[in-house]
Amino acid sequence: MIDVFQTLLGIALVLVSVYIYNYYNEVTNYWKKYKIPGPKPHLLFGNIIQFIALKKSISECVKQLYDEYKEEPVFGIFDRTTPMLVVNDLDLIKDVLIKDFSLFTDRGLSFYPKVEPLTEHLFVLEPERWRPLRANLSPVFTSGKLKEMFLLMLDCSMYLEKHLAKIADKEEPVDCRELSAKFTTDVIGNCVFGIDTSALSNEDSEFRRIGRSVLAPSTRATIRNFVREILPFLYKTIGHLLQPPGADKFFTKMVVDTINYRKENNIYRPDFINILMELKNHPEKLQNVELTDTLLTAQAFVFFVAGFETSSTTIANTFYELAQNHGIQDKLREEIRQSDTKYGKILTYDRVKEMKYLDKVFKETLRKYPIFPVLMRQALKNYTFRETKITIPKGTKMWIPVYGIQRDPNVFSDPEKFDPERFSEEAVAARHSMSYLPFGDGPRNCIGARFAYFQSKVGIITVLRNYKVDVCEKTIIPYKPDPRSFLLSLKGGVYLKITRA
List binding-site positions: 446
- If phi > 0 it is left, if psi is from -120 to 50 it is alpha, else beta; for residue 169 that is alpha
Binding-site annotation: residue ranges for heme: 446
Strands 391-392 and 397-400: unpaired
Do residues 466 and 318 lie in contact, with contact meaning Cβ atoms separated by under 8 Å? no
Residue 113: name the closest of 226, 236, 225 by CA.
Answer: 236
HSE-CB for 446 with a 13 A CA cutoff:
20
Residue 107: name the closest of 93, 127, 131, 85 by CA.
Answer: 127
- 3-state DSSP assignment of residue 80: coil
CA–CA separation, 378 and 241 (whole Å):
30
CA–CA separation, 451 and 447 (whole Å):
9
CA–CA separation, 306 and 300 (whole Å):
10
Do residues 497 and 179 lie in contact, with contact meaning Cβ atoms separated by under 8 Å? no
Its sign, for the CA torsion 265, 268, 271, 274, is positive
CA–CA separation, 71 and 353 (whole Å):
38
Q: What value does the CA radius of gyration of the chain take, rounded to a whole number of Å?
A: 24
For residues 262-276, one letter each, b for 16 or more C-beta atoms within 10 angstroms of the residue's C-beta and e for the rest, the string is beeeeeebbbbbbbb
Do residues 103 and 381 lie in contact, with contact meaning Cβ atoms separated by under 8 Å? yes
Taking the CB of residue 113, how many other CB atoms lie within 10 A of it?
12
CA–CA separation, 181 and 374 (whole Å):
23
E strand map for 243-362: none
For residues 322-354, one letter each, b for 16 or more C-beta atoms within 10 angstroms of the residue's C-beta and e for the rest, the string is bbbbeebbeebbebbeebeeeeeeebebebbee
